């Protein structure tokens, strides 16, 4: 079940989300639209972190997002993209209107059955659905330790999402790909990135400061980050591809 408080926690942090959250590797967009298509919908588009990789892959790119604050930033960055206020459970576009639907870092917030029905409705027959998530590289001890502080429920797992599935109603699973890449990031920006995460946004002042101090302690003690103003952050992007049945 979707935690509505966590889901809504992003709605007023558009500028910080856009500045501090990681983007996505271009290869992820290639997996969804290897050739140019007529129309792509980026659903739950946020500030356009993935949308920007789609603008050269379709004649018409549509971004649907429930947060006006985030959508406003996307409009400024990508003026050629059509932007619509809406949700995955009630997509404000016509039937069979797009060739590809992408959902980057958002599908776990959706009502799965209702969203799948709406996505199938707006996709052309045989159209592609792509679900994407960035997550911690399990080989990075210090970043995994920070994730365990911010997301205790993750525990000792490798950080991969459990929100994708081999079977989604109305879709055939085509395949899954892991893309490994590295981001050069300043320590101060890494810490500010955590302040855009849902568990930090809904936490009380003392709890938030305690989590931040614990992450700083990790950075101060790990040989890969100790005493450094910037470091290399390994990231894994999971891409799950489905086709409308």
Whole-angstrom distance, CA of residue 127 vs CA of residue 125: 5
Identify whether the C-beta of residue 4 lies closer than 8 Å to the C-beta of residue 89: no
Q: Has residue 206 been placed in a domain? A: no
Mean pLDDT of the 65-84 span? 96
Tokens encoding 195: 């302040």
The residues facing 57 across adjacent strands are none
Domain span at residue 16 reads 4-136+158-183+234-244
For 131-163, the pLDDT digits (tens) are: 999 999 999 999 999 999 998 865 444 444 446
The tally of domains found in the chain comes to 1
Q: Has residue 224 been placed in a domain? A: no
Q: Has residue 144 been placed in a domain? A: no
Q: Has residue 171 been placed in a domain? A: yes
Q: Has residue 69 been placed in a domain? A: yes
Q: Has residue 149 been placed in a domain? A: no
Q: Has residue 112 been placed in a domain? A: yes
Q: What's the pLDDT at 163?
A: 61
Quick one: how far is CA 43 from the chain centroid? 10
Q: Has residue 205 been placed in a domain? A: no
For 202-243, the pLDDT digits (tens) are: 899 999 999 999 999 999 999 999 999 999 999 999 999 999
Q: What's the pLDDT at 36?
A: 93
Mean pLDDT of the 113-132 span? 98
Q: What's the pLDDT at 198?
A: 83
CATH of the domain at 164: 3.40.50.150
pLDDT over 50 (residue 7): no
Mean pLDDT of the 2-21 span? 65
């Amino acid at each position: 079940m979707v935690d509505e408080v966590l889901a809504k926690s992003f709605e007023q942090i558009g500028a910080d989300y856009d500045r501090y959250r990681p983007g996505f590797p271009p290869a992820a967009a290639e997996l969804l639209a290897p050739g140019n298509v007529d129309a792509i919908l980026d659903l739950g588009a946020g500030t356009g972190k993935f949308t920007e990789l789609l603008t050269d892959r379709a004649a018409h790119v549509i971004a649907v997002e429930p947060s006006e604050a985030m959508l406003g930033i996307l409009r400024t960055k990508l003026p050629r993209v059509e932007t619509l206020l809406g949700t995955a459970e009630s997509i404000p576009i016509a039937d069979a209107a797009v060739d590809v639907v992408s959902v980057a870092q958002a599908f776990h917030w959706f009502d799965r059955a209702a969203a799948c029905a709406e996505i199938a409705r707006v996709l052309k027959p045989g159209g592609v659905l792509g679900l994407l998530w960035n997550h911690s590289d399990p080989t990075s001890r210090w970043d995994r330790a920070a994730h365990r502080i911010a997301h205790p429920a993750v525990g000792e797992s490798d950080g991969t999402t459990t929100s994708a599935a081999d079977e989604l109603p109305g879709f055939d699973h085509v395949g899954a790909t892991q893309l490994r890449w590295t981001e050069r990031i300043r320590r101060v920006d890494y810490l500010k990135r955590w302040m855009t995460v849902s568990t930090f946004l809904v936490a009380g002042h003392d709890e938030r400061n305690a989590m931040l101090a614990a992450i700083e302690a990790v950075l101060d003690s790990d040989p890969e980050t100790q005493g450094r103003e910037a470091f290399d952050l390994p990231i894994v992007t999971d891409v799950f591809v489905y086709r409308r049945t």
